[in-house]
Structure 1
Amino acid sequence: MVQTHYQKALTSIVPQTLYVVATPIGNLADISLHALAVLGRADLICAEDTRVTQQLLSAYGLQARLLSVREQNEQAMAGKVIAALADGLVVAQVSDAGTPAVCDPGARLAVRVREAGYAVVPVVGASAVMAALSVAGVTQSDFYFAGFLPPKSGDRQKRLADWLKATYPVVMFETPHRIHDTLAQMAAMMDSRTLLLAREISKTHETYLAGTVSEIQAAVLADANQSRGEMVLVLHPAPLEKTDGLPESAQKVMAILVADLPTKQAAALAAEITGANKKALYDWAVAQKKTSQ
C-alpha cells in the first residue's frame, strides 16, 4: 500500500516545476511520501544548508545535486534555478526544517520563478505553528502568526502591547537566549493571560508548558532545560470585557445586524445607531457566538 502511494506521487511530478518541500522539524519519520518522491526525483535541490539537507537525504538513501540557496544569495541563485527549469529539470526547494519561505528563505525564489513563467508547487508537511496550535486549546478559528519576536527589548515591548486586548490567539517564535527577557516582559504586562510554550516540537526532548504567563515564567526559571532549543509561544486571547451594562435595545440591534454583516462592521453600525460602546457590542456578539456553538 505504501509503495502504491509512493509511485503515485512519483508519477505526479512534472518537469520544469519548482517544488517547495516541507521537511521534518524534528522526527525524521514526519516526512511525507510526497516529499520523499519529489526529493528522490529532483534533478536539483536548493538547500538552506547543504550539510543539513545531505543528512536528511542520506537517512532515506537519496542522492541529488545540491545548490546552496540562503537568504543572502537567494536573488543571485534564482537565475541558476530558472536556467535549470528552462532545461526541463525538476527542482526542489527545502529549508533546514519545516516549510521554506515561512521565517526561512524561499519567498524571493518563488516570486522570481513564477515571474519567469514556471510553476511553483508546495509539498506540504510538518509545521511548528500548526503543531503548537493543535495542543494549545484555543477555540478560535482565526489566529495571528507573528514569526520571531523583535530582538530589541523596546521593539518587543511595542509588539506585546499590541496584543494586550487581542481577541485572537497569537503564535510567535522565540530563541533560547531571549526567552527569559520575553517572559519577564509578558509577565509585567499580562501575567494572568493563558500561554502555551511548546519546545523542541517533534524532537527527543519536546515539552509543552501551559498556564498563565507568570506560571510559565516560573517554570522556565526553575528548570534550565526549558530555556533550550526551538520554541513556539501561543498567547491566548485576552478575556472578554464585561458587557453586563450593554442596554437590551443595543443587544437587539446588534443581533439583527450581525446576522447579515461581519461582526466588526455590525458593531460599528450598531454603535452609531444606539450610542453604545463599539467594543462592548463586538465583544457581546463574539460571546453570543461562543455560547451558541
Structure 2
Amino acid sequence: MSSKQMGCLWVVATPIGHRDDISARAIETLRNVALIAAEDTRHSRPLMLQHNVSTPLVALHEHNEREAVAAIVRRLEQGESVALISDAGTPLISDPGFRLVRAAREAGIRCIPVPGACAAITALSVAGLPSDRFVFEGFLPPKSAARRSRLEELASDPRTLIFYESSHRIAESLADMRDVFGAEREAVLARELTKMFETVIGEPLSQLAARVVEDPNQQRGECVVLVAGRGDDTDAKLAEGRRVFAILREELPPAKAAKLAAAISGAPRKQLYQE
C-alpha cells in the first residue's frame, strides 16, 4: 500500500492546565481525524467537550500500549487518520506514545506534529536560569538510594537540569538535590503551571527544600524542578566565602571581614560585603 493511501498519525499537544491553551490547528485536527488515542479517555473527554470535538476516543496508556499499537497501526494502514494526545502537554514527554510513533514510522505512515504546551519548556521560560543549554531528565527514581545515585551522575553537568516530580515525593527529592548538588545551587520549583494555584519559586536548594517542607501547599499538584548547572567553582567559592565571612563577622567590621573572607576563599569580596 502506498503512503498516499495510508492515514496520518497526528501527534497533538494539549493544555498542561488552562484549557484555552490549545491551538486552533490542534482543535481542527482533533475534529477531523477518525480516532483519538488518549492516555486517559476520562481525563481528555471534558477538554474535547469544551472545544466541540466529537471524535471517538480510545485509551493508549503504559499498561496497554503494546497491544493497542497494532490495532491503531492497522487503522492507519487502512487509510484512517489518528490523533495521539496525552493527559497534558506534548505526547511522549514523560508520557506514553513512543511505541505507537515508532511503529507508525516503521510502517511508512506519516507522523505529523501539532505543537503546543510542554511543562518543561513552560517552566524553563520563566525560571530565570540559563536556557541556552539544558537537559530534560523527566522523573527521578522513586527510591532515595537510586535517586541520589542518578543525581550524583548529574552533579557536574554544566547545563540547566529539568525534572518532573510527583507531589508526594517533591520534599524528599529537593532534600536529595540539596545534599548532592550543594545547598547554594540555584533551583526553581514551578508548580501547577497555568492553573489557579500556580507558583514559581526560585531559591538556593537549601532554602527551597526548607520552604517546601514548611508549606504543605507546595507539596500539591504537578511539579517541575529546575536546577542550575554546575559552572566553574564559583558556587563552591561563594559558599565557602559566606561561611568564613560569618565567622569573621563576629569579631571584625563587615568590610574587613569581607576582605579577609574573599582572600581566604576566592569568593567575590563585593558580593560578600553586599550580602
TM-score, length of structure 2 as denominator length: 0.80
CA offset at residue 160 of structure 1?
1.4
Alignment of 1:266-281 (within 5 A): none
Equivalent in the alignment of 2:207: 215
Aligned equivalent of 2:96: 105
Does the residue aligned with 1:29 lie in a helix, a strand or coil?
Answer: coil
**Structure 2 match to 1:205:** 197
Q: SS at 1:204's partner residue? A: coil
Match of 1:159 in 2: 150
Cα 1:52–1:140 change in 2 (3 A) is closer
Partner in structure 2 of residue 172 of structure 1 = 163
Alignment of 1:134-283 (within 5 A): 134-189=125-180, 190-241=182-233
| 1:145 partner letter | F
Q: Which runs of 5+ in 2 are unaligned?
A: 235-275
Task: State how 1:71-86 maps to structure 2 within 5 Å.
Answer: 71-86=62-77
**Residue 63 of structure 1 pairs with residue 66 of structure 2:** no
Q: Deviations over 1:247-287 (max 9, x none)?
A: xxxxxxxxxxxxxxxxxxxxxxxxxxxxxxxxxxxxxxxxx
- Of residues 90, 95, 115, the one that matches 2:106 is 115
Per the alignment, residue 25 of structure 2 pairs with: 34
Q: CA deviation at 1:79?
A: 1.9
In the alignment, the residues of structure 1 paired with residue 177 and residue 66 of structure 2 have an alpha-carbon distance, to the nearest angstrom, of: 37
User: Equivalent residue for 1:7?
Assistant: none
Q: CA deviation at 1:140?
A: 4.4
The answer to whether the 8 A contact 2:124-2:131 is kept is: no
Partner AA of 2:132 in structure 1: S
Q: Give structure 1 stretches of 5+ with no counterpart.
A: 1-13, 243-293
Coordinate RMSD, CA, aligned: 1.4
Measure the CA separation in 2 of the matches of 1:67 and 1:140: 37
Task: For residues 94-132 of structure 1, give each alpha carbon's deviation from its aligned partner in whole angstroms, at most 9, with x where no partner exists.
Answer: 111111111111000011111111111111010101111
Runs of 4+ deviating beyond 6 Å: none
Instruction: Output the amino acid matched with 1:240.
Output: D
Letter in structure 1 aligned against 2:157: A
Shift of 1:138: 2.1
Q: Tell me the CA shift for residue 15 of structure 1.
A: 6.6
Structure 2 counterpart of 1:275: none
Post-superposition CA distance 1:128-170 (Å, at most 9, x none): 0111111111234111111001101111011111232221110
Task: Tell me which residue corresponds to 1:8.
Answer: none
- Specify the code of the residue in structure 2 equivalent to 1:166: D
The TM-score, its normalising length taken from structure 1, stands at 0.75
Task: Tell me how far 1:63 sits from its aligned partner.
Answer: 0.2
Deviations 1:167-208 (A, max 9, x none): 111000111111111122222231100000000011111101
Question: Matches of 2:79 and 2:155 in 1, distance apart?
Answer: 52
Distance 2:117 2:152 in 1: 30
Report what 2:121 is aligned to: 130
Find out whether 1:46 has 2:67 as its counterpart.
no
CA distance in 2 between counterparts of 1:224 and 1:205 reads 13
1:222 deviates by 2.1
- Which deviations, in whole Å up to 9, do the C-alpha atoms of 1:192-230 show, x marking residues without a partner? 000000000111111011010011112212211001011
Query: Secondary structure of 1:211's match?
Result: strand
Q: Distance in 2 between matches of 1:241 and 1:52?
A: 46
Partners of 1:162 and 1:114 in 2: CA distance: 33
CA distance in 2, matches of 1:79, 1:176: 34
Q: Classify the secondary structure of the residue corresponding to 2:20.
A: helix
